[in-house]
A = this chain, B = another copy of it.
Amino acid sequence: MSIHPLEFRLISNPNQQEIITSEKDWHNTIILGDCSKVLQKIPSNIVDLIVTSPPYADSRKKTYGGINPDDYVQWFLPISKQMYRVLKADGTLIINIKEKVVNGERHNYVIKLILAMQQQGWLWTEEYIWHKKNSYPGKWPNRFRDAWERCLQFNKQKKFKMYQERVMVPMGDWAKTRLKNLSETDQTRDNSKVESGFGKNVSNWLGRTMVYPTNVLHLATECSNKSHSATFPKSLPAWFIQLFTEPGDTVFDPFLGSGTTAMVAKELGRCYIGIEIKEEYYQGALINIEKLYLIVKIKVSLGLIKHKKLII
């Protein structure tokens, strides 16, 4: 069995009713369309993890999505309801979000969203903090730089899959650089991670005492990609994918953007499903993911990777 070609399923018009019946059809697929519509066609209970960064509320109309802060909760609830349906019972939902400042005040649409999602049946298991180490500089009369975002964890039930050992970090003084190392590795070692989690990093750290991390993640924002409104660095979905899924599991992102979640899922040996509404971002995601397949193909042809490792 060799690397199968990409099978990207393009549903530009969701009403065309392309019938997809089996669960398998959705694996490793990204779809162009409005996720509130496309989600209705995805079978129930097929996703192990949802990692997503929905478009932030913004009163400016032209931006991506452009949902008004006051309408945000009502806009999001139908989508979260569908996410609840497609997620497996022991799966996890991670939402990366941060409220905007509106009229000098933090808007309350995020905390209202938490309450509304609890009404839908979601359990608000935990709130992780993403501490952005190098956020954009800036100073305002009333506030400092905003250097953190919420990563809200929701579950359908109290028992869910979690593999804590995978994200253990070196102890003590190395704690400072714990996730920085992890982040750097993500950027350099593409597919070695398919084999064994974070690959050689783990072996480097063996012999040193490993400890469990906390619910505060120190990750640098990626400064490289300026073209899109890139939401999170690859190390952010990587951390949650490692923590909440096994290789072969399915990771879903209804707001795929430039494809970060799908790329990381692929790199870590997970299946991915992604939806993106803007064709510009969708095309970028296609290219980014296709690159991954090409890189793997080249490495295999050079004998750098053993064949059997690639079959997903």
**Is the Cβ of B135 less than 8 Å from the Cβ of A164?**
no
Q: How far is the CA of A92 from the CA of B125 in the complex (A)?
A: 31
Not counting A108-B118, A111-B115, A144-B214, a sample of 14 additional A-B residue pairs whose C-beta atoms are within 8 angstroms of each other reads: A104-B125, A106-B125, A108-B124, A111-B111, A126-B142, A129-B129, A131-B131, A139-B164, A142-B160, A143-B215, A144-B215, A145-B215, A146-B215, A148-B215
A224 surroundings in chain B (CB, below 8 A): none
For residue A37, CB closer than 8 A to chain B, the reply is no
For residue A112, CB closer than 8 A to chain B, the reply is yes
Closest 9 A/B residue pairs (Cβ): A147-B214, A111-B111, A104-B158, A145-B214, A147-B216, A105-B123, A106-B124, A139-B212, A129-B148
For residue A103, CB closer than 8 A to chain B, the reply is yes
A124 surroundings in chain B (CB, below 8 A): 105-106, 108
Q: How far is the CA of A212 from the CA of B142 in the complex (A)?
A: 12
For residue A89, CB closer than 8 A to chain B, the reply is no
Q: How far is the CA of A164 from the CA of B141 in the complex (A)?
A: 8
Number of copies: 2
For residue A114, CB closer than 8 A to chain B, the reply is yes
**Is the Cβ of B126 less than 8 Å from the Cβ of A106?**
yes
A142 to chain B, nearest CB (A): 6
Report which A residues bind B (CB closer than 8 A).
103-106, 108, 111-112, 114-115, 118, 123-127, 129, 131, 135, 137, 139, 141-148, 158-160, 162, 164, 211-216
Q: How far is the CA of A213 from the CA of B215 in the complex (A)?
A: 22
A158 surroundings in chain B (CB, below 8 A): 103-105, 142
A111 surroundings in chain B (CB, below 8 A): 111, 114-115
A123 surroundings in chain B (CB, below 8 A): 104-105
**Is the Cβ of B127 less than 8 Å from the Cβ of A106?**
yes
